[in-house]
Amino acid sequence: MAAAKLRTAAAIAIATAVPAAGAVLPLRRHRAFLTVRLRGSSCRIPPQRGGAAAAMSSSARAEHEAGAWYAVPGLSLRDHRFAVPLDHSSPDGGDAITVFAREVVAAGKEETSLPYLLYLQGGPGFESPRPMEAGGWLKKACEDHRVVLLDQRGTGLSTPLTPSSLSQITSPAKQVEYLKHFRADNIVKDAEFIRLRLVPDAKPWTVLGQSYGGFCAVTYLSFAPEGLKSVLLTGGLPPLGEPCTAQTVYRACFKQVQQQNGKYYKRYPQDIPVVHEVVRYLSESEGGGVSQFLQLERVWDPVLVPGAKRSISYYFLKEGSSSKWSAEKIRAEYESLFDPVKATEEGRAVYFTGEMVFPCMFDEIHALRDLKEAAHLLAEKEDWPPLYDVSKLNNNKVPVAAAVYYEDMYVNFNIAKETASQIAGIRLWVTNEYMHSGIRDGGSHVFEHLMGLLNGKKPLF
């Protein structure tokens, strides 16, 4: 799958005649894409004024507003909005933001008593899926659950975290002060706020966390296990504290990315000269150069379009701790291996990067340029509260099952195993059948397998 993803990235660059890196993609194409995404899912929802300016006194809003049920093939859906504190440490009298969640059940089960399952999307910065019909893991989950698809704070139909919203904040220091409330710890506090108001008798619920959503689920296990009935993790076991620093994680990630690039070009050697052509074109044209071409997994991100309301949490809060631009430092250790211009000059394969944040992004992505100083302040910020409590995890009582993908390009296999060893009672499913996107590529099978580990249908040995 990683090879296919890389090939798709190269194909997109060629087929769309990529302009100089950093140039804006045609808005018409994005509009068509967004229309498809919205149709049948969120088109009934009125536009939401958002951003920092939309934060208001928590006492001025209803805590919970629920919409009417509506249908897509095989599913019934209902939208919820919650007014949650921006800062959960001062819920009384502080500012509130909106967090959006979509409740999903199998068609005809709107009034059926079912256990709740909360889905935490990967990212950070991505909204929850917008189901257009019953399928994949969601169809399987809805057989026995009432599923809640959460737009984590700052994403989707929750109060947005965008270049436009942050531009309303008057200084980089104040932007950092605002951004610090959008990490996994506050996502978990939002989830608990919602559970207490949505779930009958505030019963514990099951949490399914994909990738970064799994990181959030481990934060949940650390600080609010009383809200959890069980936890399912897919490609989502995070690094736990020292000595697992951002540099340790990026060093492991670069090795895996190097391997996946090698597999891609071994399978598609004819793409080597094609990518060389793209690099030559970009390096000789006006614009940001070739670095953004190496991150084509995000080529369709609407944040690249002026005025687009897409969360930018990914660019600021991916590490969740002091990063000190670790990806840039580790890339320098590889000297010319990830230098596209030098690789082209020497006739070598050009290596793409994957899920890495570099300071050049805040120079070359137009929408992020005004946030460059805030990004540097965040990269150097060290006084973050912990996201995980290893002692709590060592004494965990919540049933946990995790899918660990042997060749995962984004969550290192060895680091994931080390983390699993710290979570008492966890059951692991180690597989090379899927890559990081297993929940999307084989969702029904992945979900059923993990539930089998929890309910005893899968043997211990």
Which residues are known catalytic residues? 211, 383, 436
Question: CB-based burial of residue 72 (10 Å sphere; 0-12 exposed, 13-18 middle, 19+ buried)?
Answer: middle
- What residues have CB less than 8 Å from 278, skipping those under 6 apart? 10, 13, 14, 18, 293
**Tokens representing residue 428 in the block:** 């692991």
* Selection from 162, 165, 157 nearest residue 52 by Cα: 165
Q: Using alpha carbons only, what angle is made at residue 172 by residues 169 and 173, rounded to the nearest 5 degrees?
A: 100
Q: CB–CB of 184/349 below 8 Å?
A: no
Q: How many CB atoms lie within 10 A of CB 50?
A: 20
Q: CB–CB of 92/131 below 8 Å?
A: no
Q: How many CB atoms lie within 10 A of CB 247?
A: 16
Q: What's the count of helices (H) and strands (E) in the chain, helices before strands?
A: 18, 11
